[in-house]
Amino acid sequence: MNEALNTLMSMVENGTDLYTAFQNYFNTQKGLFEDTANATQQDFNEYVDGLKAEGDSVILTIKTDYRNEITDFENQQEQLFTTWFEFVKGQLGEDVAGKLQNQINALDIKTDGFEARNTTFSEDGKTITETYGVKRIETEFVSDSTIVQKLYDNDVLTKTKTITFSADGLSIKEDVK
């Protein structure tokens, strides 16, 4: 403090204009402050730009990895579908719709027997009639080795199944038309 006062007093004694000296001093300080502030701002901007670049890089990596995983998954699913389709195509043959309808019809025949139904017997005991909804099955015991079943849907004959038992009783043959 003494040194600063001595400097000021010598300036006054030597005829120095203190106002100009202070203006020069403060202008110099202001310049130094602005230079430091600008350098700090530039460092901050570079830091933010670095963070942005790093964030953009991370996001790009995530997007790329995700796209690669999705592409791999899609390729795997396409391969599974192609394998399945080739397998099914081999089973269906050329008339895909017709073969598929035949498979559906065969499934209908297999599941028809599991619905609740009303059952009546003929007086001679050779015919059993089962009714459920709009469907009806008439089972006729034609002989000791043959049974004929007729499936009606809305009183329209849709299927006939002939069941034949071998003479030794060890095998059964079914023919559906």
Domain boundaries, the chain: 1-92, 99-176
Note the pLDDT of residue 49. 94
Residue 169 confidence (pLDDT): 75
| Secondary structure (3-state) at 134 | coil
Query: Which DSSP symbol is given to 83?
Result: H
For 31, the token pair is 């310049």
Report the pLDDT averaged over residues 62-79.
94
Q: Which two tokens stand for residue 110?
A: 């297999």
**111-149 pLDDT per residue, tens:** 655 667 789 999 998 999 999 888 899 999 999 889 999
Contacts of 167 (CB under 8 A, 6+ apart): 145
Q: Do residues 27 and 19 lie in contact, with contact meaning Cβ atoms separated by under 8 Å?
A: no
Q: What integer is the mean pLDDT of 59-66? A: 94
Residue 122 DSSP symbol = -
User: Given pLDDT bands bounded at 50, 70 and 90, which one contains residue 39?
Assistant: very high
pLDDT value at position 117?
Answer: 79
pLDDT score for 152: 94
**118-121 and 172-176 as β-strands: parallel, antiparallel, unpaired?**
unpaired
**What pLDDT was estimated at residue 111?**
61
Residues with Cβ within 8 Å of 84's Cβ and at least 6 positions away in sequence, in order, are: none
Position 21 scores a pLDDT of 74
